[in-house]
Structure 1
Amino acid sequence: MSFDHDTVTAFAKSFGLFYLIAMSIGVVIYAYWPKNRKRFDHAANSIISDDEDRPCQ
């Protein structure tokens, strides 16, 4: 089998498409997994503490 530029390019484009789709599905599953909710809530709330949630005076 000859590997010319067009064949390799077509394979790379197809493989890259499926790879990015699979990675995107994996990230969405990880983000919405119920076990990770506590970790994400803590990260969202730890940026600003209660005493810093006011304008500077």
Structure 2
Amino acid sequence: MDTYSFLRELADSWVLLAMVIFYITACLWAFRPSARAANEEAAGIPLRNDTDAHLAAQEPEADQDG
């Protein structure tokens, strides 16, 4: 058996199985119930200062109009 055939057979069987197990484990780890608070906090990072920036951007326009 040459090297290419051996590596191809290994990748088609055991490496594929290892990658599937790793993927399932990563999904279960990310969506575990105890990580809900951390996931919600991370999801809100882009919008954390959105309200303050929006209000600050509107104040100078109100001063110029009035």
For normalisation by structure 1, the TM-score amounts to 0.69
| SS at 1:26 equivalent | helix
RMSD: 1.9
Count of residue pairs the alignment pairs up: 53
Moved over 3 A (4+): none
The whole-number CA distance in structure 2 between the counterparts of 1:13 and 1:29 is 24
1:37 has 2:52 as partner: no
Identical amino acids, percent of aligned pairs: 23
User: Could you say which residue in structure 1 is the equivalent of 2:45?
Assistant: 46
Aligned to 1:9: 8
User: Matched residues in 1 for 2:42 and 2:13: separation?
Assistant: 36
Moved more, 8-17 or 19-28: 8-17
Inter-partner Cα distance in structure 1 for 2:44 and 2:52 = 13
Q: How far off is 1:32 after superposition? A: 1.3
Return the structure number with greater helix share. 2
Q: Following the alignment from structure 2 to structure 1, what is the Cα–Cα distance between the partners of residues 18 and 8?
A: 15
Q: Which amino acid aligns with 1:10?
A: E
> Larger relative CO (CA 8 A, sep 6+): 1 or 2?
1
Cα offset, 1:19, TM superposition: 1.1
